[in-house]
Structure formats: structure tokens, C-alpha cells
Structure 1
Amino acid sequence: MDISIVIPLLNERESLRELHDWIAAVMQSGRFSYEILFIDDGSTDGSWDIISELSAGNDAVRGIRFFRNYGKSQALHAGFRVARGAVVITMDADLQDNPEEIPELYRLVTEEGYDLVSGWKKKRYDDILTKNIPSKLFNWAARKTSGVKLHDFNCGLKAYRNTVIKNIEVYGEMHRYIPVLAKNAGFSRIEEKIVRHQARKYGRTKFGIERFINGFLDLITIWFLSRFGKRPMHLFGALGVLMFLIGFLSAGFIGADKLYKLYSGQPAILVTQNPWFFIALATMIIGSQLFLAGFLGEIILRTKTKNDRYKIFDTINVTTGEEPEKETVRHL
């Protein structure tokens, strides 16, 4: 199969038929073999009924329905698990992403050899104060922190080589940072393509200003995990040992100073009356706790099991537990 199109959605009933027909027309004109994976993230407006009707008229339509709203990252994770295409395209269901971009995205992956091609909505039709300006600040911070030189991390329109989506773990709210996750996994051929952005035709956006706050918090998380996620002892252990040594040496200095004054006949207060004694003691305790945190992190990392972070209510043309075998990651 050439292309898998993964579309997470929440209450997008009005746009689904038009989006499906548009994608199908583009796929047929390009003579692509394809599948459309709709991931219903707990819709309450009858979106699943529309997906069921579409699947009845087109065998390429497949669907996964969650019990409730779990978030876009979980929806993408579920879609990635069952995607079968050589190239996987992700796009939003609100018609703001243009399906006519798909053939060129496919070409960049298959012919130019890129692992991931991210869309860049250079000209946007969003509110300037609530979305455009915060988005520019967010993308600037993401570039500086991650080292991935993209202008638009949060664009839903992206193309992936199948091996990429089978070898990264999308969780929490990390869908914004899939290019960073791919880079950390060893997929370094990442490109950006300017794509057309369209004004929302139906309904309203499901994201508020809080997504940017969460985005910056997630950015800190992924920065930390990319450096210390596989070796927590390197951070916590080093800090713990450093603080313990500072506290221990400080306590030793206090004790030595006390003994010197006793032997020299100078007046000396009790060690416990010296405020620096308690500072040194607290520093040693904190250092020990940090070291233990690193040690426990190593144990958890080696014993953790992977559990799905969502519950599937229903599926269409998807076998329960279906997941193609991961391809071997090629050395880059």
C-alpha cells in the first residue's frame, strides 16, 4: 500500500464527508493505493455514524473509536499502530489542511529520501492574538531547545516513512514534537514544506490558549527526556553526589572549627547552635534523596511495561490488536 492517511478528530461531523471525498479524488487521480484511518477521539456529535457510512461505500476507510476523549497524541498513537502504508500522512479533520498537498509530500519521502516532511503554514487564517503570535513564540522556543529547524512544529499535515511511526512513542501531548521524537530515535532526514492553510469552514477550534502553556511544559519534558530519559542516574545521581559532598564537607569544616577552638581555649558554641550545621545536614539529606531518585528511576526504566493509554470502544475494518511488524531501523 502506498499511503495511509491518519486523521484524528473530535466532533467534526460536518466536515467528514467533504474531507473524505476530497482525499479520495486526490488519491484516485494519482493512482495511489491508500487507506483513510479516522480516529474518533470521543466525539459526541455523531461523527462515528458518518465514518460508518463512509466505510460502507469505500473499503479504504477504516476507523477507531475511543470510549472518551483521550487527546490527539493518543489518537495518533492508535492510528500509527495500524497504519499499513509505505508513507503515512497525518492531517486534521477540519478542512484547514489541503489534501492536494499529499502527492508532493509522498514524493518527498519516496523519491527525495526524507524520513519526515513537516508542513509549514506560512500564511495562516487564524486569529493573530490568540493563535498566530503565541504560535510563533512557541515555535521559536521549540527550535532553540530541540535543535530541529522547523518553522511550524504544530502543523497537523506531515508525512512519515512507515519505519518512523513504527519506532517512535507518541504519548501525553507530545504530538507537537513528533519531529523531535523522530530525531531522537535516529531519523535525521527531516524536511519542511510550505503548505496551504485554509480558514475553518465548519464548527470552531477545539484548542484554546491553554494549549500553548501545555506546549511549553511539554517542551521542557521532551528536552529533559531526550537528554536524561534513558539515564536518569546521570542527572539525579550527579546532583545528589554533589550536594551530599558539599553538605559533608561543610559539616566537616564546622566540626574541625569546633575542635580547633576547644584545643586553643577559645570560646565555642555547640555545633547544633550553629545554623550552618543544619544547612549542611539538609544539603546531605537532599543529596541522598536525589541519588535515590536517580537509582529508582533506573529501576523503573528497566522494569516498566508498555500499556495503552486509551480504551477503544469500536473499530471499522481494523482487527483488534492489529499492528504490523516493526521494520528494522536503518542506520543513518
Structure 2
Amino acid sequence: MSKLDISVVVPLYNEEESLPELAEWIDRVMKANGFSFEVIMVDDGSTDDSWSVVEELASKYSFVRGISFLRNYGKSAALYSGFDAAQGDVVITMDADLQDSPNEIPELYRMIVEEKYDLVSGWKQKRYDPIGKRLPSKFFNATARLVSGIKLNDFNCGLKAYRRRVIKSIEVYGEMHRYIPVLAKQAGFKRIGEKVVEHQARKYGVTKFGWERFIHGFLDLLSVVFVSKFGKKPMHFFGTLGIITFLVGGILSGFMIGEKIYHLANHMKVREVTDQPLFYISLTLVIIGVQLFLTGFLGELVSRSSSERNSYQIDKRL
């Protein structure tokens, strides 16, 4: 296959009405800028005629390629398959609902090629979504910035550009598509930029995401941050918490025992240790501390048995 400038990966689910217009729009932009390109449409188990439309577009346009799932696996799975098939030097992702504008592609490409960014994320500064979707999104993005340390305003924007090496070095799974910038940073790609992009009002169909995505998104954020920091050294996390918890419980127990001995030595009234609520709190802390420490130990055993325990991203060789 000849070298391509750009691969456009389009995950889709029940978007039959918008696909012909999207393909025509991408074609127009690419030809106006002289790019060699391909468009990979990944049908994530659509229940409408989306795949039939993709087949028609593939017969009409030589640049259209298609991948179809037997069932709905989610956006992360669609992106992973699209990334695996992509051949372009720069990979652009965009949603199939026409809310992402292909007119942004030339500038995104330029930022990757000329400004040497590894990843450029779109920022829908002006959105045409209802306030019930915008406000939770602002909170979600603020939390993601705080936890990840990546200064992006819109982590979940579907319009992004990547250097080819980036998408071949990361694994997108579960619902981690929201955190591809975080995954890229963990893989060593730290030149992450942002571009304000135009957001279109939805023209066909309805949104495929509900409120549950914000709950899932927060849990996924905790997962990706934890795995990145402690995936290969779980004892550092669980062992530290376990030791601290155990020591707190032990110190409280020692204090109560010491207090009883002091009272007995001075012939003072003694309150039984087992009659004090603090005793049960300290006992619980000791037990939890031991459990956390054992969890870290088991995590270390699992980590050492992993086939990827010595998997590293090598930058250069001589």
C-alpha cells in the first residue's frame, strides 16, 4: 500500500443518514488540500442500515474502507480496530454525526507535521448541546485536568489528530477513549496540544450517550491513573496504605493498654478496654491494614507473572 498522509477513523453506530454527506465533505476537503488519504469507517454493531451505506460508499469512493462488528462493543473498541488498520502518517478521529467538521483536518494535520505535536485534541468552545450535557462535561473535564495534569479543556472531543506512532503505541480498551491523551502521556508522548474547533448542531438522529457515561467516565479516570502509577508496583500503593492503617490501629491499641496499666499502677478506677468503642475501631484498622498489605503482596505476584512486566516504549536504538 502506498504511503498516505492521513487516515481518518470514523467510529459509528446507527448513523446511516449522515455517512454519505460526511464522506463527500471529507473528500472535498482532502482534494482541496492535495492530501493522500483513507477513511476507515468502523460500524460498531449498528441496528440500522449503516453498514449497507458503508458498502455503497466503498464502491463509490476508493478511499473508503469499512470494518463491521457483529455487535455493539463501544467506541473504544471501534477506535482500537480503526487505529490497528490505519496506514496514514497522521491519524484523525471524528464522530460520524456531522457535529465534527472535516474543515478542521488541514490545520490539525499542520500542527502535527509542522509544530511537531504528538497529539492535538479538539476543543468545542462553543457547543450546541443542551445545558444538561454541558455542565456535567465541564465538571468531568475539570476533574480529568486535576487528576491527569494534562491541560486540556475537552478530553472527550471526538475530533483529534495523532502522530501515527502514538496510536500504534497505546491500547484503547473498555471506555478509555475519553482518556487517550492520558494513555499517550503514559506511553511517553508528552507534546499534547489543543485546537478550538467548530461544533455543528446534530443534523440527523439522536445522541447515543446518556448520563451514565459521566459515572463510567469518572471510574475509568481513576482506573487509568491508578494503573499508570501503580500497575507495575501495586505494593507501593496497597502496602503503604496497609502499613499506615496498621500503625494507626496499633498505636490506638497501645495507647488504651498503656492507659489501663497506668490506672492499675496508681490504683485508679479502670475501664475495661473492650468496653471502649475506640478498641473496636483500632482492631478494625489493624485488620484492614493487614488486608491491604496482603492485597499489595498478591498484586506484586500477579504483576511479576505478567507477560508485559518488562514492556517498555523504546524511543531510539543505535
TM-score (norm 2): 0.88
2:22·2:96 contact (CA, 8 Å) conserved in 1?
yes
Report SS of the residue matched to 2:88.
coil
Superposed displacement of residue 260, structure 1:
4.8
Distance, in Å, in 2 between the alignment partners of 1:197 and 1:275 is 58
Task: Show CA shifts across 1:160-200 (max 9, x none).
Answer: 00111111222222211211221222211111111111111
The corresponding residue for 1:5 is 8
2-side partners of 1:330 and 1:10: how far apart? 39
Match of 1:196 among 189, 195, 198: 198
Q: How far apart, in 2, do the equivalents of 1:256 and 1:130 lie?
A: 57
Say which SS state the counterpart of residue 17 (structure 2) adopts.
helix
CA shift, 1:116, in A, is 0.6
Partner letter of residue 130 of structure 1? G
Tell which has more relative contact order, 1 or 2 (C-alpha 8 A, sep 6+): 1
The 5 Å alignment of 1:230-245 reads: 230-245=232-247
Partner of 2:96: 93
- Following the alignment from structure 2 to structure 1, what is the Cα–Cα distance between the partners of residues 9 and 60? 19
> Aligned pair in 2 of structure 1 residues 131, 329: CA closer, same or farther (>3 Å)?
farther
8 A Cα contact 2:187 2:313, kept in partner? no
Indicate the residue corresponding to 1:56 in structure 2.
59
Query: Do residues 77 (structure 1) and 80 (structure 2) align?
Result: yes
Look up the equivalent residue of 2:82 and give its one-letter code. Answer: G
Which residue in the other structure is 2:292 paired with? 290
Match of 1:67 in 2: 70
Q: What is the DSSP-based 3-state SS (H/G/I as helix, E as strand, rest coil) of the residue aligned with 1:69? A: coil
Shift of 1:55: 1.8
Q: Can you list the C-alpha shifts for 1:194-230, whole angstroms capped at 9, x where unaligned? A: 1111111111111123322332333333333343333
The DSSP-based 3-state class of the residue aligned with 2:46 is coil
Match of 1:311 in 2: none
Contact 1:92–1:156 (Cα < 8 Å) also in 2? yes
Larger mean CA deviation between 215-224 and 265-274 belongs to: 265-274
Q: Cα gap change, 1:6/1:329 in structure 2, threshold over 3 Å: closer, same or farther? A: farther
Name structure 2 gaps, 5 residues minimum.
none
Aligned ranges for residues 215-226 of structure 1 at < 5 Å? Answer: 215-226=217-228
8 Å contact kept, 1:13–1:47: yes
Partners of 1:245 and 1:94 lie apart in 2 by: 56
- In structure 2, do the counterparts of structure 1 residues 254 and 131 end up closer, same or farther at CA, with 3 Å as the change threshold? closer
Contact 2:12 2:44 in 1 (8 A): yes
Percent of aligned positions with the same letter in both sequences?
A: 60
Task: Provide the rounded CA distance (Å) in 2 between the counterparts of 1:50 and 1:92.
Answer: 16
Q: Which runs of 5+ in 1 are unaligned?
A: 307-325
C-alpha separation between the residues in 2 aligned to 1:276 and 1:126? 52
Q: 1:330 Cα shift? A: 5.9
Distance 1:266 1:327, change over 3 A: closer
CA contact (8 A) 1:109 1:117 kept: yes
Structure 1 residue aligned with 2:45: 42
1:1-332 equivalence runs, <5 A: 1-127=4-130, 129-261=131-263, 268=270, 271-304=273-306, 328-329=314-315
Q: Structure 1 CA distance, aligned partners of 2:114 and 2:316?
A: 17
More displaced 10-residue stretch of structure 1: 198-207 or 208-217: 208-217
> Does structure 2 conserve the Cα–Cα contact (< 8 Å) formed by 1:163 and 1:328?
no
Deviation at 1:257, TM superposition (A): 4.2
Amino acid at match of 2:287: I
Please state how far the C-alpha of 1:270 moved relative to its aligned partner. Answer: 5.3
Of 142-151 and 69-78, deviating more is 142-151
- 1:130 and 1:209 in contact (8 A); partners too: no
Evaluate the alpha carbon distance shift between residue 271 and residue 328 of structure 1 in structure 2; reply closer, same or farther with a 3 A threshold. Answer: closer
Partner of 1:310: none
Q: 1:180 to 1:31 in 2, by over 3 A?
A: same
Q: How many residues are matched?
A: 311
RMSD in angstroms over aligned alpha carbons?
Answer: 2.4
1:30-71 deviations in whole A, cap 9, x for unaligned?
222222111111101011111122222333322221221111
The DSSP-based 3-state class of the residue aligned with 1:288 is: helix
Runs (4+) of structure 1 moved beyond 6 Å?
none
Query: Which position in structure 2 is the counterpart of 1:322?
Result: none
Range with bigger deviation, 247-256 or 181-190: 247-256
